[in-house]
Amino acid sequence: MLPPDRRLGKNAIISLSIHACFQFGSSMSGLFLNLYLWRLTQDLIINGLYNILVFAIAPAAFAAGGWLAKRKDRMVTYRLGILMNALFYLLVVIAQENVAEFYVLFALLNGIASGFYWVGFLVLQYDVSTDKNRIRYLALNMISYNAAGLAGPALAGFVIQRSDGLSGYILIFSLAFITFLIAAIVSFRIPLQPARHRTFYLKLMGLLMSKNRRWLHGLYCLFIFGLFQGVMLFLPNILLFLTLGREDWVGYFGVFFSSLIVATGYVLSRMAKKENARKYFLVSSIGITLGSSLLLIEVSLWSVVLFMMLFSVFNPLAMNTLTSYYYRLIGTLPLKGELRVESVIMRELFLNGGRIVSISILLLFAGNLQPVGIAVVLVVLALLQFLLLKLVREEQPEAQS
């Protein structure tokens, strides 16, 4: 029996259901969107540039969404993000193979939609959880998010493999559009809670970073974490397709990897403790480096699958720990939580900065999918994760001047 302070409230449970619905649509469409672009162009450079543009525009969208959240409410930003994601996939369905020709415009729209969605959701996560139950909430979010993602890849792969040409992709993107509309409708069950302080303090973040080094180090952690995450958001599915040659098996393996993430999330929800953050980062960094090193032997089905298995187990450990740690840092900032929107925007700026740098490195050294180049880049990025141990400090908040 859980103590009362670790139980989740009604809005927390609703937020988990919305995010799970969102993930079901994303796991069907997002998983195969990069592969769809790859099938149309056979060019990793275009895939890389597409993702760089998404991550480059997202911080600006975060800032715009954050301003709206401060002026109105975080749920307004959140709902707009869901609806813009629905619009994005509706336009993909309309454009079909012309997506490759207009990939820059689609990347910008995707980045804006993602920015609005995630700034709304990340602020909502903070609002519906507490320091007492946040690790449990994040772990349950990981479980529901990835459990919803179990069926999506399998369904998408099954449909795509049994459709003529690329028509299966269009059907999946249509289903994603419908799913996002459902998520938007469910989001109205969470009432508006307009901020008491409407002032947008984003321009003061530079001053705050100079005064609170512990928070600044937390932002550096996000940049470092983004270095490995950037390439992992699109490269694994391409590698799996090249080694398997079939979209349905890419989807089935996606189900398997998601099940490992769900199992990890369950363990974290039962056993994780906030004071063990540095230990969790150490274990995660070792596991991810070991998995990446397998690709130095050869880039083939066995090494890619084992690499993804280790990544699916150890990356959630780092992600959950870092998210919980950063939320605790937000609680140490002035104005008692009123800077949570600005802090989430800074989170996205540093995280996406790391993603852009890593994708650029991958395109520079392995733009033609050279196996050795891919393996070396991944190992170097994995080794950089050990820097998290240097930057994370569980200590008393700094005195604010």
| Separation of alpha carbons 226 and 233, rounded Å | 10
Residue 147 in tokens: 């459990």
Residue 401 has pLDDT above 50, yes or no: no
Q: Please compute, for residue 155, the number of CA atoms within 13 A of its CA located in the half-sphere on the CB side.
A: 16
Query: How many other CB atoms are found less than 10 A from the CB of residue 368?
Result: 9
Asked which of 19-28, 64-73, 192-201 is least confident by mean pLDDT, the reply is 192-201
Provide the residue type at 366 as one letter. Answer: A
Predicted pLDDT of residue 394: 62
Q: 11-190+211-391 adopts what CATH topology?
A: Growth Hormone; Chain: A; (1.20.1250)
Question: How open is the CA angle 233-229-379, to the nearest 5 degrees?
Answer: 110
Predicted pLDDT of residue 246: 78
- In the structure, what pLDDT confidence band is assigned to residue 32 with cuts at 50, 70 and 90? confident
Secondary structure string (H, E, C) spanning 263-276: HHHHHHHHHCCHHH
Asked which of 87-96, 132-141, 300-309, 353-362 is least confident by mean pLDDT, the reply is 132-141
Helix (H, G, I), strand (E, B) or coil at 339: coil
Provide the residue type at 313 as one letter. Answer: V
Asked which of 6-10, 30-34, 252-256 is least confident by mean pLDDT, the reply is 30-34
Phi–psi pair at 341, nearest 5 degrees: -65, -50
Helix (H) or strand (E) holding 334: none
Residue 169 in tokens: 């992709």
| Separation of alpha carbons 320 and 108, rounded Å | 28
| Separation of alpha carbons 321 and 289, rounded Å | 18
**What average pLDDT score do residues 28-50 get?**
82
| Separation of alpha carbons 37 and 40, rounded Å | 5
Residue 395 has pLDDT above 60, yes or no: no
| Separation of alpha carbons 125 and 16, rounded Å | 9
Residue 398 has pLDDT above 60, yes or no: no
**What average pLDDT score do residues 349-364 get?**
91
| Separation of alpha carbons 280 and 344, rounded Å | 23
| Separation of alpha carbons 40 and 205, rounded Å | 42
More confident residue, 78 or 43: 78
Predicted pLDDT of residue 284: 92
Share of the chain above pLDDT 70, in %: 94
More confident residue, 150 or 2: 150
**What average pLDDT score do residues 157-184 get?**
85
Question: How confident is the model over 85-134, as pLDDT tens digits?
Answer: 999 999 988 988 898 889 999 999 999 999 999 889 988 888 888 877 88
Q: Hunting for tokens 């890389």 — which residue is that?
A: 48
| Separation of alpha carbons 44 and 235, rounded Å | 9
| Mean model confidence pLDDT for the chain | 85
Question: How confident is the model over 195-223, as pLDDT tens digits?
Answer: 666 777 788 888 888 888 999 999 999 99
| Separation of alpha carbons 233 and 243, rounded Å | 18
Cβ pair 163, 289 in contact under 8 A: no
Predicted pLDDT of residue 251: 78
| Separation of alpha carbons 251 and 239, rounded Å | 13
Helix (H) or strand (E) holding 380: helix 371-384
Phi–psi pair at 163, nearest 5 degrees: -110, 155
| Separation of alpha carbons 125 and 47, rounded Å | 31
User: What are the boundaries of each domain within the chain?
Assistant: 11-190+211-391
Residue 159 has pLDDT above 60, yes or no: yes
| Separation of alpha carbons 47 and 362, rounded Å | 11
DSSP classification of residue 386: T
Predicted pLDDT of residue 399: 40
Predicted pLDDT of residue 382: 94
